[in-house]
Amino acid sequence: MVSETLKFFSAGEWTTGSGEPFATINPATGEEIATIGGASATDVDTAVKGALKALNTSEWSDLKPHARAKILYRIGEFIDEDAENLSQIQTSDNGKTIRESRSQIASAANCFRYYAGICETLEDTVTPSRGDYLSIAVSEPIGVVGLITPWNSPALLEANKLAPALAAGNCVILKPSEVTSLIALEYARIGEEAGLPKGVLSVITGASDIGRLIVEHPAVGMISFTGGPVAGKRIAASAGALLKPVVLELGGKSPNMVFADADFKDAVSGVASGIFSGSGQSCVAGSRVFIQRSIFEPFVNALVEHAEGLVMGPPEAPATELGPLANFQHRDLVHRLVTLALEQGAELLCGGEIPQAAEFASGAYYPATVISNVSNESSICQEEVFGPVVTVLPFDDEEDLLDQANDSAYGLASGIWTNDIKRARRVAHKLQAGTVWINTYKQQSISTPFGGYKESGLGREKGTQGIRIYMQTKAILWAD
């Protein structure tokens, strides 16, 4: 991709903004892809005023649901039509393998179609009254909502927020990560081409302080954030001071648990995919693997063999299974956490070194890494590494397993591998996690609510809950 200066989209206008421009880097090559205009406080205020104007003229929120749905369907169609270009953009900007980018772009298009359907069929509720009057619970848009997204899966995570927020009738200000802003700008283009009224969608680019300005703006009525717990808690505190609702997805340290009766090959493959796909840069990555003691050694050996056999290479190559991490700063952080674990006595079974081969020298690559001889209380087992790094730990029985699996500040996801149906159900209900996979991992459904327990977040995205979070309820009581 040729280096160029890109504008962001604010209140229906493309602008370079009045803030500091910044470069976006291809993590596979270290080369600059483009310079992107940076927003300032003035630009944020302009976007909010544009959203309020669109809201007050009712060009969007007062549209009949089928009319809003028509535009959302069109956005899904346009994403499909431009799927290969969008996939290449995400892969160059983020380092995700082209195979995964294509899958995520397809899912993004489906997300807009799903919420277009929800938009057309979402019903108000007639509630029981205690007199001669009609009692109705009506769902209405919040107004102006702020969406703040991370760098690990921009195409999918941004669609998961944009589609329901727009379907609900809101005007939206999206602030993507400065590391991976290109897909968000493409969504702005597609939304404009699909017929979103002026001011309904703004995409504001810049550093983290731009997100803070959106959170603190008094006219922004709600915040949806995906990212780390430190930033999430800060956002919750700022929003709380204004009694502003938030939805937070803040990551995890998910346990993937293998019982002795599990299908051995399926479990090895599923555990490996659960941590190494996306180079481990997934909030649901199964980064703590608990293996029943009787099969611990053979299972770990098989997992290491699988990890060492993964093809690391250019993300655009069809055969690549392990691309670079999304940026060099994060690659170095992952390596520091691995090094710290080894200094504290952990055993490195494979990986754990920044590749020195010439073909990897210019990129933010890191190999599949398996670590043993650790306790569940160690930092490598408690802190989210967010890379292709997995710890393996033995367990004796269900009680021992649940004590360890639930011993985490996080509670986003988990996996169970067993052929005992009763055990699977029993353990699933005792896990402190928002998602439990049984004999699979990382399977997703746009119609199934997603979110975390404990410090993994607040609220649920996807499904009908995923649109309700962007709405507020009004009671109407009507006497004859």
pLDDT tens digit string along 72-104? 999 999 999 999 999 999 999 999 999 999 999
Is the distance from CB of 146 to CB of 214 less than 8 angstroms? Answer: yes
The verdict on whether 283 is a catalytic residue reads: yes
Full set of structural domains in the chain with CATH? 5-250+456-479 (3.40.605.10), 255-445 (3.40.309.10)
Catalytic residue among 158, 178, 186, 249: 249
In eight-state DSSP terms, residue 96 is -
**Residue 306: its pLDDT value, please?**
99
The verdict on whether 461 is a catalytic residue reads: yes
Q: How confident is the model at residue 1 (pLDDT cuts 50, 70, 90)?
A: very low
Give CA–CA dist 440/424, Å, rounded. Answer: 12
Give CA–CA dist 224/165, Å, rounded. Answer: 10
Catalytic residue among 96, 111, 158, 161: 161
Q: Is the pLDDT of residue 410 over 90?
A: yes
**Residue 480: its pLDDT value, please?**
76
Structure tokens at 467: 């649109």
Give CA–CA dist 428/432, Å, rounded. Answer: 9
Measured distance between the N- and C-terminal CA atoms of the chain, rounded to whole angstroms: 66
Helix axes 83-94, 98-121, angle to 10 degrees: 120
**Residue 2: its pLDDT value, please?**
47
Catalytic residue among 178, 283, 381, 384: 283
Give CA–CA dist 371/385, Å, rounded. Answer: 13
pTM for the whole structure: 0.97
Catalytic residue among 119, 381, 461, 462: 461
Residue closest to 183 by CA, chosen among 211, 168, 205, 199: 205
Q: Is the pLDDT of residue 31 over 50?
A: yes
Structure tokens at 95: 């380092």
In eight-state DSSP terms, residue 368 is -
